[in-house]
Amino acid sequence: MDATLSADLRSPAEVYDEQFVPALFRPFSGIVADSAGIGAGQRVLDVACGTGVLACTAAQRVGSTGAVVGLDANPEMLAVARRKPVPVEWVDGRAEALPFPDASFDAVVSQFGMMFFDDRAGALREMRRVLHRGGRLAVAVCDAVEHSPGYAALATLLQRLFGARVADAFRAPFAIGDPALLRSLCGQAGLGQADIAAKTATVRFPSIEALVSTERACVWTLGGLLDTGQFERLLDEAQGVLQPFVEPGGSVAFAMPALLITATAD
């Protein structure tokens, strides 16, 4: 089954778990867990956990004496997460109104979700609220698309082929990749001592077709925006535009930086 047809037969959450997680989110899960100082015996919350890659990483680190909660507002994401044989409690909820008492966790983490929150400062404030004194916060967001060469090339191609509406939809996950904006949000949330640093991992898809078809299926960006003819045109043009990132075996890889907010609750 080719990548295009395979993606069409899967739910958006399944596409996310089967394609985006190994391509990008799994490598970053270790970076975020390290930044939060997650270790044995801790109680950890993963906000906007998606299908659970970061929560699963945290569960490995806290071991049998710790506990991990994964929270997401998307029931399809949680349905995929619940299939995984890991000791994680999966909770339906919003980042802006965490359903937990004050000072409930040793660490609160979140990766690549904050750009989609309705109230970003409010969500950070809630994450701070549920941390106990000395607890660690680590939140990763995509850096600006211009800093990720492969995605920047694809955004430029989408703009040229289909105009600003489609290109801007693709750029949505990169919308808050600005240290000054993140510092402002942290200040509004009472996290004036937060640190913001760039961290980089490698995006890797098995082929250009796999990358493009996965992006087309993503409901948070290009989902539903391209018809079959437009997708075929995009795929044809992408073969040339993304060729500089193709490895000898045919996979496509490039660096993608994230901005990582870290703070210690006082």
Looking at residue 242, what DSSP letter applies? T
How many CB atoms are located within 10 Å of the residue 19 CB? 23
Mean pLDDT over each residue of the chain, to the nearest integer: 93
- Band the pLDDT of 9: cuts 50, 70, 90: low
Q: Which domains can be identified in the chain, with CATH numbers?
A: 3-264 (3.40.50.150)
The end-to-end CA distance of the chain, in Å, is 53
Average pLDDT over residues 42-61: 97
What strands, in cross-sheet order, belong to the sheet with 252-264? 88-92, 67-72, 43-47, 105-111, 131-142, 252-264, 195-205
- For residue 157, pLDDT over 80 is answered with yes
- Band the pLDDT of 6: cuts 50, 70, 90: very low
pLDDT of residue 4: 43
Distance CA 58, CA 263 (A): 18
pLDDT of residue 86: 96
- Please say whether the beta carbons of 177 and 141 come within 8 A: yes
pLDDT of residue 31: 96
Average pLDDT over residues 174-198: 96
pLDDT of residue 201: 94
How many CB atoms are located within 10 Å of the residue 245 CB? 20
pLDDT of residue 16: 87
- For residue 8, pLDDT over 60 is answered with no
Element (DSSP H or E) covering residue 44 = strand 43-47
- Band the pLDDT of 218: cuts 50, 70, 90: confident
- Which two three-digit tokens encode residue 142? 């995509």
Distance CA 229, CA 209 (A): 15
- For residue 2, pLDDT over 70 is answered with no
Say if residue 192 is exposed, middle or buried (CB neighbours under 10 Å; 0-12, 13-18, 19+).
exposed
- For residue 1, pLDDT over 60 is answered with no
User: HEC profile for 66-134?
Assistant: CEEEEEECCHHHHHHHCCCCCCEEEEECCHHHCCCCCCCEEEEEEECCHHHCCCHHHHHHHHHHCEEEE
